[in-house]
């Protein structure tokens, strides 16, 4: 499961610069890293005249571009306001670290806030979300603080968080045809309660503790 962090701060505070330097540092340490950008005012992905532009202009609400080097996804609709946690777990479930620029109002993940003298000097992240501060001046926060050029120290901090996160996996995990499927806490609790309740009478020993339950379902083939 990915460690997901929102890198927050005002425009020109240095969020993009920080992520650009952390990505190669973490990759060099052997981690698989993804980046997500929050664009509240929209963005342009299609290039006019290209095939993908013609597909979306024709009304396609989803376009997938595939090449030997990678994939590109364009999906439109009236309700694209997914939480950062949902985006990361749906699209990057096999990554070690997801760094998201923005998402200051998203309550689904923790934040690292970037401060810069003369641009952004006051913390805005709620205390319950803030886990670290990156600033070019000294500010008392009660949280780990780093300078914008202390990339190695920040990477050490992230590495420790990744290790801690991997030691506490989700209570319920679902894979369909080998691909992980994101389950929020409510769905996890429903599945856990239903399965545990159904198999409790089937235990061989009354005092046997259920430490882990594994269920595999293979749907029958459709026959015509």
pLDDT in 10s for each residue of the chain, 224 residues:
688 999 999 989 999 999 999 999 999 999 999 998 876 555 556 667 777 777 777 887 778 777 888 877 777 765 656 788 888 878 888 889 999 998 888 888 899 999 999 999 999 999 999 999 999 999 988 999 999 999 999 999 999 999 887 765 567 777 787 776 766 666 777 888 888 888 777 766 555 666 678 888 877 665 55
179 and 221 assigned to the same domain: yes
Tell me the C-alpha to C-alpha distance, in Å, between residue 105 and each of 66, 82, 220, 221.
Answer: 33, 12, 45, 46
Is the domain of 224 the same as that of 152?
no
Burial label, 40 (beta-carbon count in 10 A; 0-12, 13-18, 19+): exposed
**Within this chain, do residues 137 and 187 fall inside the same structural domain, yes or no?**
no
H or E element that contains 32: none
Q: Which of 149, 166, 183 is the last residue of a domain?
A: 166
**For residues 27 and 17, what is the distance between their CA atoms, to the nearest angstrom?**
16
State whether 187 and 155 are in the same domain.
no
Which of these three, 125, 149, 166, is where a domain ends? 166
| 77 shares a domain with 106 | yes
Residues 6+ apart with CB under 8 A from 31: 96, 97, 159, 162
* Residue range(s) defining the domain that contains residue 217: 170-224
Q: What's the pLDDT score for residue 210?
A: 65
- Return the structure tokens found at 68: 């030997």
| Closest by CA position to 108, among listed 35, 2, 4 | 4
Q: Which residues contact 182 (CB under 8 A, 6 or more apart)?
A: 86, 89, 90, 93
* Boundary-marking domain end, from 166, 191, 216: 166
Closest CA to 22 of 127, 148, 185, 124: 148
| 15/95 same-domain check | yes
Both 160 and 181 in one domain: the answer is: no
CA dihedral of 55, 60, 61, 65, whole degrees rounded to 10: -40
CA distance 114 to 150: 13
pLDDT at position 4 is 92
The CATH number given to whatever domain includes residue 137 is 3.40.50.300
Residue 109 and residue 46 share a domain: yes
Closest CA to 37 of 95, 98, 79: 98
Same domain, 118 and 188: no
Strands 110-115 and 130-135 come out as parallel
Give residue 110's Cα distance to chain centre.
10
Q: How many domains, the chain?
A: 2
User: What does the block give as tokens for 67?
Assistant: 């090449």
Examine the domain organization and report whether 80 and 116 are in the same domain: yes
Same domain? For 82 and 177 the reply is: no
Specify whether 46 is located in the same domain as 83: yes
Question: How far apart, in whole angstroms, are the C-alpha atoms of residue 66 and residue 149?
Answer: 37
């Amino acid at each position: 499961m990915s460690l997901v962090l929102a890198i927050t701060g005002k425009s020109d505070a240095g969020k993009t610069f920080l992520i650009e330097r952390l990505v190669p540092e973490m990759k060099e340490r052997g981690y698989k890293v993804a980046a997500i950008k929050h664009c509240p005012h929209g963005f342009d992905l299609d290039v006019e005249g290209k095939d993908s532009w013609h597909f979306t202009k024709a009304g396609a609400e989803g376009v997938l571009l595939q090449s030997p080097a990678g994939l590109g996804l364009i999906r439109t609709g009236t309700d694209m306001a997914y939480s950062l946690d949902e985006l990361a777990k749906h699209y990057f479930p096999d990554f070690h670290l997801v760094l998201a620029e923005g998402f200051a109002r998203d309550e689904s993940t923790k934040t690292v806030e970037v401060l810069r003298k003369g641009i952004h000097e006051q913390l805005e992240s709620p205390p319950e979300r803030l886990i670290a501060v990156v600033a070019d001046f000294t500010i008392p926060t009660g949280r780990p603080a780093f300078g914008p050029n202390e990339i190695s120290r920040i990477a050490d901090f992230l590495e420790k968080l990744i290790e801690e996160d991997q030691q506490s996996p989700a209570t319920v995990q679902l894979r369909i045809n080998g691909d992980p499927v994101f389950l929020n806490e409510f769905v996890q609790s429903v599945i856990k309660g239903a399965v545990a309740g159904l198999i409790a009478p089937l235990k061989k020993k009354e005092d046997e503790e259920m430490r882990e339950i594994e269920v595999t379902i293979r749907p029958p083939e459709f026959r015509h």
